[in-house]
Structure 1
Amino acid sequence: MKIRFGYVSTAITLWDASPSKTLTFTRYQLLSEQDRREKLLELTRLNLQHTLRMLYYNLAHEIELYRLSSSLVPLATHPEILWDYVTPFQSEWKELGDVIKKNNLRVSFHPNQFTLFTSPQAKITDNAVIDMEYHYRMFEAMGVKDRGMMNIHIGGAYGDKVETIVRFHENLKKLPPHIKRVMTLENDDKTYNAEETLIACEKEKVPFVFDYHHHMANLCETPLEQLLPRIFQTWDHVDHIPKIHISSPKGEKEFRSHADFVDLEFILPFLKMIKEFDQDVDFMIEAKKKDQAALKLVEDISKLRGYKRVSGAAIEVK
C-alpha cells in the first residue's frame, strides 16, 4: 500500500510565487480599454509562470499530487468580460501540460464555494456551470482534460436536506456530460456528511473525495470503516486511485478551521483504519503551511513503525 502526498495551489517555500494574483472588477473599470487588456494579460502570464515554477518545485521534491489554483485567470467568468484567456497563452498552457504529462503528475481544481448545484435560484446554477466550464477549459488548454479532475461540495441545505438533495440531482443535469466525467464530490463539515455525500456520488456515478477533517466535524451514523469500501469503489470507473483530503483542527474552539500543519495524532486513527484495506490512496494536504505541511507530515509518518518513506512525498505502508 502506498500513500502519495500533495498540497494546494502555492508552495509557500518559494519567494513571491502566488499563482492567484488577481484584479477586482472595480479596479478593472477604472482602467482604460487598453490598460484593461494589458492588465489581464500581465496577471495571467504571471500566474502561469508561477504555476510552472510550482510544478518544477514539485518535481524537485518528488511531489506528484498538486491542486492548481482556480484563480489562474483574473475575471475569467465575469459576465461583463468573458475574455479569451487561451489564445494569447497557447505556448504557456501547453508547457504546463507537457510537464504534467511527461512526469505523470496528478492535478486537480477545486472551484470555489459559490459553485453550487443546490440553489433554488436558476442563476446560481447557471453560474456554477460557467465556472465548471472555465476550469475544464484550462484543462483543455493544457491538454490534460483526460487526467485532471475538479472537486466541489454538494452545497447548502437551504433548510431542507431532503428537498435540496433532490434539487441537486436535478440541477446537475445542466452540467455538460464531458465536464461531469471529470467531477468529484466532497463531504462537508456542516451540511452533507460522508454518508449523504457517498449516496449522492453513487447515484451520479462520480468519485468521492473523502475529507477526514470534515468527517470528524460532521459525523454520520454509519461507522467510517463500513463506508470506506464504498468510498473506494466510487473511483473504480476512473483512471485514478482514491483521493483523500487531510488537515487537522486549528484548536478545540476553531475545530473546523485548518491548522498550519497536520497533527499526526489527529489523523493516526484514520491511518490505522485505511491500513487494513491495503488500498493505495493520495492525500491532498489542506493545511495552511501547504507544501511545508505536506513534507512535514511525510516525515512524521515515516517515523512510525510500518511506514517507510519511498520518495520525497510518498510513504509505503507495510
Structure 2
Amino acid sequence: MTHPRIGFACQYRHAIRSLSLAELKVLETACNTRTTTLRWMDGVSPQVAQDKLLEVVTHNLAAQLRLLAYVAELPPALRMLRLSSDLLPFYSHPRVRDFYQGVERQAWLGERFAAMGELARGADIRLSFHPGQFCVLGSDKPEVVENSLAEFEYHADMIRMMGYGQRFQDFKCNVHIAGRLGGAGVRAVWPRLSQVARHCITFENEEKVYGVDDCLALADLAPVVLDIHHCWVNENDYIDPHDPRVARIIDSWRGVRPTMHYSQPQERLQELGFAAERKLEMAELLKVLNKRDLYGHSEVMWNRWTNDYALQFLDRFDIMFEAKHKNQATLLFYEQYKQRFAG
C-alpha cells in the first residue's frame, strides 16, 4: 500500500440525492448497518430478541460485504474504508455476548468475516475500525476500563476473523487516549490487550485534552493518527506539514504508510462570511461562535484553502475523510484534485 489514497467512514450515500427518501432508504440500507436496542430486547421474549438480533447481524454482514464490493470498483486511490463498529450489536455486553460465543455461531460469523477479508485483500482496500467514545482505556474507573477492554477486543475479534491482526498495522483500529488517567492509564492496561489488538491499535489526537504531544508520548507502543482538524482546534492553528512532530508521527508507523484524519467545520460558516478560498483563522472564528461549534463535521470538503493544506500531506499519508456525505465527499474531492493523486 504505497500509493496515496483517501477513504470514507462506515456508511454509503447514494449519488442522486433528488430521489425520494423512500427510494434513498432502499438503496442505502442495502449497504449500511442496522441495530436494535437493549430496551426493546428486554421487552420481548428471549427467543424473539435472539431472532431479531440474528436478523440484524445477518443484514449487517451482507451489507458490509456489498459496501466492500462497491469500494472495490472505485479507482485505487479511493479504496480505503472504515468499517462500522455496529456489525455485531452488543457483542461485548455481558447480557448479550453469550449469543455470539457458541461454536456454531462463531463458525458462521467466521465464514462471513473471512469473505469480507478476502474481498478487501483481493481489491487492495485499506481497512480500519474506530471504536466509539465509550472505549476509554485511560479511565480511572475499573468498570469502565473492563468494559473498554471488552469493546476493543470485540473489534480485535472481527479483525482476526477477517484474517488481519497477524502483523503490525495490517489493519488499523483507532482510539482516542481519553479518560482521567490518560496515557498512564493506557500503559497500565497495555499488557492486557491481545496480540491482535496490539498489532492494530492506533492513538489519535483529539480536540479538547489529549493532543498530538500526548499521542507521541505513546508512540513506543503504537502509531499516532494525526487528525489535522482536531489539532487545529486544540492548538488554534494548523500544524505545519513540516513540523518535526509530523516526522515523529511517520516514524511511529515503523515503515507502514501512515493514515491521518481530515475533516472541516460545517458549511454554515460561509453564511457568517468565511469564504471557501480563505484560511479559517481561529481568532476570527471565535469572535462570532464558540470553539465547540467547530467540532461538527461538514457535509463535504467545502473550504478550498484547507483542501490545499491537507493535500500537502498526501505524499506521506493516506487520508481518512470524516464528512457527513461519506463516499460522496471523497468522490467529489477526488474529481477536483485527481491530478494530485497521480503525482
Under a length normalisation based on structure 2, what TM-score does the superposition of the two structures give?
0.80
The whole-number CA distance in structure 2 between the counterparts of 1:166 and 1:97 is 34
Match of 2:262 in 1: 246
Residue 142 of structure 1, aligned match among 155, 162, 176 = 162
Kept in 2, the 8 Å contact 1:44–1:74? The answer is yes
After superposition, where does 1:199-214 map in structure 2 within 5 Å? 199-200=217-218, 202-204=219-221, 206-214=222-230
After superposition, where does 1:148-187 map in structure 2 within 5 Å? 148-156=171-179, 158=180, 164-187=182-205
Counterpart of 2:152 in 1: which secondary structure? Answer: helix
Residue 166 of structure 1 and its aligned partner are, at CA, apart by 2.2
Match of 2:85 in 1: 70
Match of 1:259 in 2: 298
Match of 1:316 in 2: 342
> Would you say 1:236 and 2:276 are equivalent positions?
no
The whole-number CA distance in structure 2 between the counterparts of 1:241 and 1:6 is 14
Counterpart of 1:203 in 2: which secondary structure? Answer: coil
The whole-number CA distance in structure 1 between the counterparts of 2:199 and 2:111 is 26
| More relative contact order, 1 or 2 (CA 8 Å, 6+ apart) | 1
> Would you say 1:16 and 2:29 are equivalent positions?
yes
The whole-number CA distance in structure 1 between the counterparts of 2:32 and 2:160 is 19
| Identical counterparts, % of pairs | 27
Residues 184/164 of structure 1: CA separation in 2 closer, same or farther (3 Å cut): closer
Match of 1:109 in 2: 129
- Once the two structures are superposed, what CA deviation does each residue of 1:187-215 show, in whole Å capped at 9, x if it has no partner? 00111111221222x232x1111101101
> Would you say 1:30 and 2:43 are equivalent positions?
yes
Aligned length: 294
Kept in 1, the 8 Å contact 2:12–2:32? The answer is no
Kept in 2, the 8 Å contact 1:194–1:220? The answer is no
> Would you say 1:216 and 2:232 are equivalent positions?
yes
Residues 198/36 of structure 1: CA separation in 2 closer, same or farther (3 Å cut): same
Q: Unaligned stretches of 5+ in structure 2?
A: 15-26, 270-284
Residue 49 of structure 1, aligned match among 62, 69, 81 = 62
Between 1:40-49 and 1:82-91, the stretch displaced more is: 82-91
Superposition CA RMSD, Å? 2.1
The whole-number CA distance in structure 1 between the counterparts of 2:53 and 2:35 is 9
Counterpart of 1:170 in 2: which secondary structure? Answer: helix
Residues 285/67 of structure 1: CA separation in 2 closer, same or farther (3 Å cut): same
- Once the two structures are superposed, what CA deviation does each residue of 1:87-112 show, in whole Å capped at 9, x if it has no partner? 33333222212101212211111001
Residue 96 of structure 1, aligned match among 96, 116, 135 = 116
The aligned amino acid for 1:261 is V
The aligned amino acid for 1:296 is L
Kept in 1, the 8 Å contact 2:71–2:125? The answer is no
Q: Unaligned stretches of 5+ in structure 1?
A: 309-314
Counterpart of 2:342 in 1: which secondary structure? Answer: strand
Match of 1:311 in 2: none
The whole-number CA distance in structure 2 between the counterparts of 1:167 and 1:81 is 27
The whole-number CA distance in structure 1 between the counterparts of 2:252 and 2:324 is 29
- Once the two structures are superposed, what CA deviation does each residue of 1:142-185 show, in whole Å capped at 9, x if it has no partner? 223332221000014x3xxxx64323322333323431121001
Residue 133 of structure 1, aligned match among 136, 142, 153 = 153
The whole-number CA distance in structure 1 between the counterparts of 2:196 and 2:117 is 19
The whole-number CA distance in structure 2 between the counterparts of 1:234 and 1:154 is 16
Under a length normalisation based on structure 1, what TM-score does the superposition of the two structures give?
0.85
The aligned amino acid for 1:268 is D
The whole-number CA distance in structure 1 between the counterparts of 2:230 and 2:37 is 31
Match of 2:311 in 1: 271
Residue 37 of structure 1 and its aligned partner are, at CA, apart by 1.6
